[in-house]
Amino acid sequence: MNERICIVSGGIPHRLKSDINHRVYAACHSHEYLHDTGPYDAIQNIYFFKLHSVEKALPHHDWVFWIDDDAYFTDFEKDLASFIQDISPDVFLVICKSPINPQGWSTFLNSGVFFLRNCEDSFAFLNSAKVVPLERVKAWWDEVKLGPYTGTDQDAVTYALHENHSLSKVRLLDYDAFNNRPYHYQDRASEHFIVHFPGVPDKHAAIENFSRKYDLQNGTLLPNHLSQQS
């Protein structure tokens, strides 16, 4: 398989150095990389930025891999293309379940990192998730089945997938595929593929602690042997 994959990240404002990590990883595996800073009109809140960003990049590639600005590659040997090998042509979205956090709760999925295929289903999904009023999503939400309501794009994504009956075209992976948290790491940085820092009050401090623990470059979480490429 020789799919054209573009890794996309960004946000408003540009608050972290994760784009350096993303760019170096993309270069390691000859994937394209786009760091997007918008602007986009009519965004419900800042979390919806990613849906507009992915929509802009998607027509030019076979797949877009969105990664939040508070998520970092930690295993630079693994090629993310492995997650979409031998995938059914009906599948348009590959995304992870949320882990159970130390407080004991999780959500149906986590929209911080995902693949989206260049196809009609993806654009229909994006169009739905971008514009559905969060008030409608909140009224529909079932915390027992879906986990806590967050008031972000994640809820709109979950709603769109359920209400458009497109879940059969989604590959929902375990969080360990590419959405681990810092507390999942025990021995080394390459133990998991991606580390994600959602819901952390002080992201800079959390990233610094992680870099110190695993001897990585602070801010970028690059291993020392790749730091010169930044």
Q: What is the pLDDT of residue 13?
A: 83
Count other Cβ atoms within 10 Å, centred on residue 118: 18
State the Cα–Cα distance between residues 19 and 106, nearest whole angstrom.
Answer: 27
Four-way CATH pick for 5-229: 3.90.550.10, 1.10.760.10, 3.40.50.2000, 3.40.50.300: 3.90.550.10
Which helix (H) or strand (E) covers residue 71, if one does?
A: strand 71-73
- Which residues of the chain fall short of a pLDDT of 70? 1, 230
Q: What is the pLDDT of residue 188?
A: 97
Q: Residue 177 corresponds to which tokens in the numbers above?
A: 């595929």
Q: What is the pLDDT of residue 1?
A: 57
Please say whether the beta carbons of 52 and 199 come within 8 A: no
Rg (CA), the chain: 17
Q: Residue 131 corresponds to which tokens in the numbers above?
A: 């514009």
Listed in sequence order, the DSSP H helices in 33-133 are: 49-57, 120-131
Q: What is the pLDDT of residue 161?
A: 98
State the Cα–Cα distance between residues 211 and 76, nearest whole angstrom.
Answer: 15
Q: What is the pLDDT of residue 104?
A: 84
Please say whether the beta carbons of 98 and 109 come within 8 A: yes
State the Cα–Cα distance between residues 215 and 189, nearest whole angstrom.
Answer: 8
> Whose CA is closest to 122, among 66, 190, 182?
66
- Which one-letter amino acid corresponds to residue 202? D
Q: What is the pLDDT of residue 205?
A: 97
Q: What pLDDT digit, counting tens, does each position of 81-137 carry? A: 999 999 999 999 999 999 998 888 899 999 999 999 999 999 999 999 999 999 999
**Domain coordinates in residue numbering, the chain:** 5-229
Q: What is the pLDDT of residue 62?
A: 98
User: What is this structure's pTM?
Assistant: 0.96
Q: What is the pLDDT of residue 154?
A: 98
Q: Are strands 63-67 and 110-117 parallel, antiparallel or unpaired?
A: antiparallel
